[in-house]
Amino acid sequence: MTARILDGKAFAARVRGQVAEHVARLKADHGITPGLAVVLVGEDPASEVYVRSKGKMTVEVGMVSVEHKLAASAAQADLLALIHRLNSDPAVHGILVQLPLPDHLDEDLVIDAIDPAKDVDGFHISNVGLLGTGQKSMVPCTPLGCLMMLRDYHGDLTGMDAVVIGRSNIVGKPMAQLLLGDSCTVTIAHSRTRNLPEVVRRADIVVAAVGRPQMVPGDWIKPGATVIDVGINRMDAPEKGEGKTRLVGDVDFDSCVQVAGAITPVPGGVGPMTIACLLANTVTACCRANGLAEPEGLTA
Ligand SMILES: Nc1nc2c(c(=O)[nH]1)N[C@@H](CN(C=O)c1ccc(C(=O)N[C@@H](CCC(=O)O)C(=O)O)cc1)CN2
Protein backbone atom coordinates (compact mmCIF):
# COMPACT_ATOMS: atom_id res chain seq x y z
CA MET A 1 0.00 0.00 0.00
CA THR A 2 1.19 3.52 -0.69
CA ALA A 3 -0.23 6.36 1.38
CA ARG A 4 -2.27 9.21 0.01
CA ILE A 5 -0.11 12.37 0.04
CA LEU A 6 -1.86 15.24 1.82
CA ASP A 7 -0.92 18.32 -0.22
CA GLY A 8 -0.50 21.20 2.25
CA LYS A 9 0.51 23.64 -0.43
CA ALA A 10 -2.77 23.23 -2.31
CA PHE A 11 -4.79 23.18 0.92
CA ALA A 12 -3.10 26.37 2.15
CA ALA A 13 -3.92 28.09 -1.17
CA ARG A 14 -7.61 27.17 -0.65
CA VAL A 15 -7.53 28.55 2.92
CA ARG A 16 -5.95 31.80 1.69
CA GLY A 17 -8.71 32.01 -0.94
CA GLN A 18 -11.37 31.70 1.79
CA VAL A 19 -9.57 34.37 3.84
CA ALA A 20 -9.46 36.70 0.82
CA GLU A 21 -13.21 36.25 0.27
CA HIS A 22 -13.93 37.10 3.90
CA VAL A 23 -11.64 40.14 3.80
CA ALA A 24 -13.44 41.39 0.67
CA ARG A 25 -16.80 41.04 2.46
CA LEU A 26 -15.49 42.89 5.55
CA LYS A 27 -14.40 45.77 3.32
CA ALA A 28 -17.55 45.89 1.21
CA ASP A 29 -20.12 45.44 4.00
CA HIS A 30 -18.41 47.15 6.94
CA GLY A 31 -15.56 49.30 5.54
CA ILE A 32 -13.08 47.36 7.70
CA THR A 33 -9.65 46.14 6.53
CA PRO A 34 -7.90 43.64 8.84
CA GLY A 35 -4.33 44.62 9.73
CA LEU A 36 -1.43 42.35 10.75
CA ALA A 37 1.75 43.63 12.41
CA VAL A 38 4.82 41.35 12.29
CA VAL A 39 7.84 42.11 14.46
CA LEU A 40 11.27 40.72 13.55
CA VAL A 41 14.23 41.13 15.89
CA GLY A 42 17.63 40.43 14.39
CA GLU A 43 18.72 38.93 11.11
CA ASP A 44 18.11 35.18 11.34
CA PRO A 45 17.97 34.23 7.62
CA ALA A 46 15.11 31.70 7.98
CA SER A 47 13.06 34.18 10.04
CA GLU A 48 13.64 36.88 7.42
CA VAL A 49 12.24 34.54 4.74
CA TYR A 50 9.18 33.65 6.84
CA VAL A 51 8.48 37.31 7.70
CA ARG A 52 8.77 38.31 4.03
CA SER A 53 6.32 35.54 3.03
CA LYS A 54 3.91 36.60 5.78
CA GLY A 55 3.95 40.21 4.56
CA LYS A 56 3.49 39.22 0.90
CA MET A 57 0.61 36.82 1.60
CA THR A 58 -1.08 39.29 3.97
CA VAL A 59 -1.21 41.84 1.15
CA GLU A 60 -2.30 39.20 -1.39
CA VAL A 61 -5.44 38.40 0.63
CA GLY A 62 -6.29 42.11 0.83
CA MET A 63 -5.20 42.86 4.40
CA VAL A 64 -2.84 45.58 5.62
CA SER A 65 0.66 44.37 6.48
CA VAL A 66 2.92 46.29 8.86
CA GLU A 67 6.49 45.10 9.43
CA HIS A 68 8.72 46.25 12.28
CA LYS A 69 12.38 45.28 12.13
CA LEU A 70 14.54 45.74 15.23
CA ALA A 71 18.29 45.26 15.51
CA ALA A 72 19.55 42.00 17.05
CA SER A 73 20.83 44.10 19.96
CA ALA A 74 17.40 45.71 20.63
CA ALA A 75 16.63 46.24 24.31
CA GLN A 76 13.74 44.36 25.86
CA ALA A 77 12.18 47.67 26.95
CA ASP A 78 12.14 48.91 23.32
CA LEU A 79 10.49 45.71 22.10
CA LEU A 80 7.88 45.90 24.87
CA ALA A 81 7.22 49.57 24.07
CA LEU A 82 6.61 48.67 20.42
CA ILE A 83 4.19 45.90 21.43
CA HIS A 84 2.29 48.30 23.69
CA ARG A 85 1.98 50.76 20.79
CA LEU A 86 0.63 48.00 18.52
CA ASN A 87 -1.76 46.84 21.27
CA SER A 88 -3.40 50.27 21.31
CA ASP A 89 -3.44 50.81 17.52
CA PRO A 90 -7.06 50.18 16.34
CA ALA A 91 -5.87 49.50 12.76
CA VAL A 92 -3.83 46.52 13.98
CA HIS A 93 -5.96 43.41 14.62
CA GLY A 94 -3.14 40.86 14.80
CA ILE A 95 0.36 41.05 16.30
CA LEU A 96 3.07 38.44 15.81
CA VAL A 97 6.64 38.46 17.13
CA GLN A 98 8.73 36.14 14.96
CA LEU A 99 10.50 33.41 16.94
CA PRO A 100 13.17 32.58 17.92
CA LEU A 101 14.21 35.82 19.61
CA PRO A 102 17.87 36.67 20.33
CA ASP A 103 19.04 35.06 23.58
CA HIS A 104 19.07 38.23 25.69
CA LEU A 105 15.30 38.73 25.24
CA ASP A 106 12.77 36.99 27.49
CA GLU A 107 10.38 35.23 25.10
CA ASP A 108 7.66 34.60 27.72
CA LEU A 109 7.64 38.22 28.85
CA VAL A 110 7.47 39.46 25.25
CA ILE A 111 4.62 37.12 24.25
CA ASP A 112 2.65 37.94 27.39
CA ALA A 113 2.90 41.66 26.58
CA ILE A 114 0.75 41.12 23.48
CA ASP A 115 -2.97 41.86 23.88
CA PRO A 116 -4.48 38.31 23.94
CA ALA A 117 -7.22 39.45 21.54
CA LYS A 118 -4.51 40.37 18.99
CA ASP A 119 -2.29 37.36 19.72
CA VAL A 120 -2.70 35.68 16.31
CA ASP A 121 0.02 33.15 17.21
CA GLY A 122 -2.10 31.92 20.14
CA PHE A 123 0.98 31.78 22.38
CA HIS A 124 -0.22 34.18 25.13
CA ILE A 125 -0.84 32.47 28.48
CA SER A 126 -4.52 33.58 28.36
CA ASN A 127 -5.04 31.88 25.01
CA VAL A 128 -3.20 28.77 26.22
CA GLY A 129 -5.58 28.63 29.21
CA LEU A 130 -8.68 29.23 27.09
CA LEU A 131 -7.70 26.48 24.65
CA GLY A 132 -6.90 24.12 27.52
CA THR A 133 -10.35 24.66 29.03
CA GLY A 134 -12.15 24.27 25.71
CA GLN A 135 -13.10 27.96 25.41
CA LYS A 136 -12.92 30.29 22.43
CA SER A 137 -9.28 31.35 21.99
CA MET A 138 -6.68 32.28 19.42
CA VAL A 139 -5.20 28.93 18.30
CA PRO A 140 -1.50 28.42 17.38
CA CYS A 141 -1.17 28.37 13.59
CA THR A 142 0.75 25.14 12.95
CA PRO A 143 -1.50 22.89 15.08
CA LEU A 144 -4.58 24.62 13.65
CA GLY A 145 -3.28 23.82 10.16
CA CYS A 146 -2.75 20.16 11.13
CA LEU A 147 -6.29 19.96 12.54
CA MET A 148 -7.78 21.45 9.37
CA MET A 149 -5.94 18.87 7.24
CA LEU A 150 -7.05 16.01 9.50
CA ARG A 151 -10.69 17.15 9.46
CA ASP A 152 -10.57 17.57 5.70
CA TYR A 153 -9.25 14.03 5.20
CA HIS A 154 -11.19 12.13 7.89
CA GLY A 155 -14.29 14.25 8.48
CA ASP A 156 -15.13 13.31 12.07
CA LEU A 157 -12.14 12.46 14.32
CA THR A 158 -14.27 11.20 17.24
CA GLY A 159 -12.81 8.19 19.06
CA MET A 160 -9.61 8.01 17.02
CA ASP A 161 -6.35 7.16 18.82
CA ALA A 162 -3.92 10.06 18.33
CA VAL A 163 -0.28 10.15 19.40
CA VAL A 164 1.50 13.52 19.38
CA ILE A 165 5.27 13.08 19.54
CA GLY A 166 6.70 16.29 21.06
CA ARG A 167 5.61 18.43 23.97
CA SER A 168 6.50 21.98 22.89
CA ASN A 169 4.25 24.88 23.83
CA ILE A 170 4.07 25.92 20.17
CA VAL A 171 3.02 22.62 18.59
CA GLY A 172 2.86 19.48 20.78
CA LYS A 173 0.72 20.71 23.67
CA PRO A 174 -1.80 22.78 21.65
CA MET A 175 -2.05 19.98 19.06
CA ALA A 176 -3.00 17.55 21.83
CA GLN A 177 -5.63 19.99 23.14
CA LEU A 178 -7.14 20.42 19.68
CA LEU A 179 -7.33 16.65 19.10
CA LEU A 180 -8.92 16.24 22.51
CA GLY A 181 -11.41 18.97 21.55
CA ASP A 182 -12.33 16.82 18.54
CA SER A 183 -12.88 13.81 20.88
CA CYS A 184 -9.74 11.84 19.99
CA THR A 185 -8.05 9.66 22.61
CA VAL A 186 -4.76 11.53 22.91
CA THR A 187 -1.30 10.50 24.07
CA ILE A 188 1.54 13.02 24.26
CA ALA A 189 4.83 11.17 23.76
CA HIS A 190 8.34 12.60 23.96
CA SER A 191 12.02 11.72 24.13
CA ARG A 192 11.61 10.07 27.57
CA THR A 193 8.51 8.03 26.68
CA ARG A 194 9.04 4.31 27.37
CA ASN A 195 8.45 1.93 24.45
CA LEU A 196 7.88 4.80 22.02
CA PRO A 197 7.60 2.49 18.96
CA GLU A 198 4.81 0.52 20.68
CA VAL A 199 3.00 3.69 21.73
CA VAL A 200 3.14 5.07 18.19
CA ARG A 201 2.02 1.73 16.69
CA ARG A 202 -1.34 2.07 18.52
CA ALA A 203 -2.18 5.35 16.81
CA ASP A 204 -4.72 6.02 14.07
CA ILE A 205 -3.21 9.53 13.87
CA VAL A 206 0.49 10.28 14.44
CA VAL A 207 1.63 13.90 14.70
CA ALA A 208 5.45 14.11 14.75
CA ALA A 209 6.76 17.39 16.18
CA VAL A 210 10.06 16.58 17.87
CA GLY A 211 12.58 18.41 15.68
CA ARG A 212 14.66 15.26 15.09
CA PRO A 213 15.26 14.46 11.43
CA GLN A 214 13.57 11.27 10.19
CA MET A 215 13.14 9.92 13.72
CA VAL A 216 9.94 7.92 13.04
CA PRO A 217 10.48 4.90 10.77
CA GLY A 218 7.75 3.08 8.85
CA ASP A 219 7.74 0.08 11.18
CA TRP A 220 6.44 2.29 14.01
CA ILE A 221 3.32 3.10 11.98
CA LYS A 222 0.07 1.12 12.15
CA PRO A 223 -0.97 0.14 8.62
CA GLY A 224 -3.44 2.73 7.29
CA ALA A 225 -2.68 5.36 9.96
CA THR A 226 -2.53 9.07 9.12
CA VAL A 227 0.91 10.63 9.62
CA ILE A 228 1.26 14.39 10.05
CA ASP A 229 4.88 15.50 9.90
CA VAL A 230 5.50 18.89 11.52
CA GLY A 231 9.32 18.68 11.38
CA ILE A 232 11.31 21.01 9.13
CA ASN A 233 14.98 19.97 9.35
CA ARG A 234 17.56 21.32 6.93
CA MET A 235 20.18 18.67 6.07
CA ASP A 236 23.35 18.73 4.00
CA ALA A 237 22.73 17.20 0.57
CA PRO A 238 26.11 16.66 -1.08
CA GLU A 239 24.37 14.49 -3.71
CA LYS A 240 22.75 17.72 -5.00
CA GLY A 241 26.09 19.50 -5.25
CA GLU A 242 28.60 21.17 -2.97
CA GLY A 243 27.06 23.20 -0.14
CA LYS A 244 23.50 22.17 -1.13
CA THR A 245 20.84 21.31 1.45
CA ARG A 246 17.44 19.63 1.53
CA LEU A 247 14.52 19.66 3.96
CA VAL A 248 13.40 16.53 5.76
CA GLY A 249 10.69 15.99 8.35
CA ASP A 250 10.61 14.19 11.68
CA VAL A 251 9.37 11.02 9.97
CA ASP A 252 11.24 8.84 7.53
CA PHE A 253 8.97 9.57 4.56
CA ASP A 254 10.17 6.75 2.28
CA SER A 255 9.39 3.98 4.76
CA CYS A 256 6.28 5.60 6.31
CA VAL A 257 4.63 6.22 2.93
CA GLN A 258 4.64 2.44 2.33
CA VAL A 259 2.62 1.74 5.50
CA ALA A 260 0.48 4.81 6.27
CA GLY A 261 -2.97 5.50 4.82
CA ALA A 262 -2.16 9.20 4.41
CA ILE A 263 0.92 11.31 5.05
CA THR A 264 2.04 14.94 4.79
CA PRO A 265 5.29 15.52 2.88
CA VAL A 266 8.14 17.88 3.84
CA PRO A 267 8.32 20.35 2.23
CA GLY A 268 4.78 21.04 1.04
CA GLY A 269 2.81 19.56 3.94
CA VAL A 270 2.13 21.30 7.22
CA GLY A 271 4.60 24.21 6.64
CA PRO A 272 2.49 26.21 4.17
CA MET A 273 -0.55 25.83 6.45
CA THR A 274 1.23 27.85 9.17
CA ILE A 275 1.05 31.13 7.25
CA ALA A 276 -2.43 30.38 5.84
CA CYS A 277 -3.69 29.89 9.42
CA LEU A 278 -1.96 33.08 10.55
CA LEU A 279 -4.03 34.97 7.97
CA ALA A 280 -7.16 33.08 9.06
CA ASN A 281 -6.46 34.01 12.71
CA THR A 282 -6.03 37.67 11.76
CA VAL A 283 -9.47 37.75 10.10
CA THR A 284 -10.93 35.96 13.12
CA ALA A 285 -9.32 38.51 15.49
CA CYS A 286 -10.64 41.38 13.36
CA CYS A 287 -14.18 39.97 13.37
CA ARG A 288 -14.11 39.43 17.14
CA ALA A 289 -12.79 42.98 17.71
CA ASN A 290 -15.70 44.37 15.71
CA GLY A 291 -18.40 42.04 17.08
CA LEU A 292 -18.93 40.44 13.66
CA ALA A 293 -19.56 36.82 12.66
CA GLU A 294 -16.34 34.80 12.37
CA PRO A 295 -15.36 33.10 9.12
CA GLU A 296 -16.70 29.53 9.01
CA GLY A 297 -14.19 26.67 8.75
CA LEU A 298 -11.20 28.87 9.57
CA THR A 299 -11.21 28.42 13.34
CA ALA A 300 -10.95 25.40 15.64
N1 LIG B 1 5.95 33.72 15.92
C2 LIG B 1 6.16 32.56 15.28
N3 LIG B 1 7.41 32.16 15.03
C4 LIG B 1 7.61 30.98 14.38
C5 LIG B 1 6.52 30.19 13.94
C6 LIG B 1 5.21 30.64 14.23
O7 LIG B 1 4.17 29.97 13.93
N8 LIG B 1 5.07 31.84 14.89
N9 LIG B 1 6.73 29.04 13.18
C10 LIG B 1 8.05 28.77 12.66
C11 LIG B 1 8.38 29.39 11.34
N12 LIG B 1 7.27 29.63 10.39
C13 LIG B 1 6.52 30.74 10.57
O14 LIG B 1 6.82 31.62 11.27
C15 LIG B 1 7.13 28.83 9.22
C16 LIG B 1 7.83 27.68 9.03
C17 LIG B 1 7.75 26.96 7.82
C18 LIG B 1 6.93 27.40 6.81
C19 LIG B 1 6.87 26.70 5.50
O20 LIG B 1 6.04 27.04 4.65
N21 LIG B 1 7.77 25.74 5.23
C22 LIG B 1 7.91 25.12 3.93
C23 LIG B 1 9.37 25.01 3.57
C24 LIG B 1 10.06 26.33 3.49
C25 LIG B 1 11.52 26.22 3.10
O26 LIG B 1 11.78 25.83 1.98
O27 LIG B 1 12.37 26.54 3.96
C28 LIG B 1 7.31 23.72 3.92
O29 LIG B 1 7.32 23.07 4.98
O30 LIG B 1 6.87 23.30 2.86
C31 LIG B 1 6.21 28.55 6.99
C32 LIG B 1 6.31 29.26 8.17
C33 LIG B 1 9.11 29.25 13.62
N34 LIG B 1 8.86 30.56 14.11
- 3-class secondary-structure state, position 216: strand
The neighbouring-strand residues paired with 262 are 4, 226
* CA of 54 relative to ligand 1 center, distance in Å: 10
Buried b (16+ CB within 10 A) or exposed e, 194-231: eebeebbbebbbbbbbbeebbbbebebbbeebbbbbbb
For residue 253, count CB atoms less than 10 angstroms from its CB and return exposed for 0-12, middle for 13-18, buried for 19 or more: buried
Q: What is the pLDDT of residue 1?
A: 74
Q: What is the mean pLDDT of each run of 10 residues along the chain (300 residues)?
A: 95 98 98 98 97 98 98 98 98 98 98 98 98 97 98 98 98 98 98 96 98 98 98 96 96 98 98 98 98 95
Q: Is 166 annotated as a binding residue?
A: yes
Ligand 1 environment, Cβ below 6 A: 50, 96-99, 121, 141-142, 232, 247, 266-268, 271-272, 274-275
Q: What is the pLDDT of residue 236?
A: 95
Q: Domain boundary residue among 118, 152, 177?
A: 118
Q: Which segments of the chain are extended strands (E)?
A: 4-5, 35-41, 64-70, 94-97, 161-165, 185-189, 205-208, 226-229, 233-236, 245-248, 262-263
Do 165 and 95 lie in one domain? The reply is no
Give the atom of ligand 1 at the shortest distance from the alpha carbon of 278. Answer: 7
Structural domain contains residue 257: yes
Domain count, the chain: 2
Do 151 and 87 lie in one domain? The reply is no
Do 256 and 204 lie in one domain? The reply is yes
Do 84 and 168 lie in one domain? The reply is no
Q: What is the pLDDT of residue 2?
A: 94
Q: What is the pLDDT of residue 261?
A: 98
CA distance 44 to 142: 20
Domain range for 77 is: 31-118
For residue 64, count CB atoms less than 10 angstroms from its CB and return exposed for 0-12, middle for 13-18, buried for 19 or more: middle
The neighbouring-strand residues paired with 69 are 40
The neighbouring-strand residues paired with 234 are 247
Which CATH number is 68's domain given?
3.40.50.10860
Query: ipTM of this predicted complex?
Result: 0.98
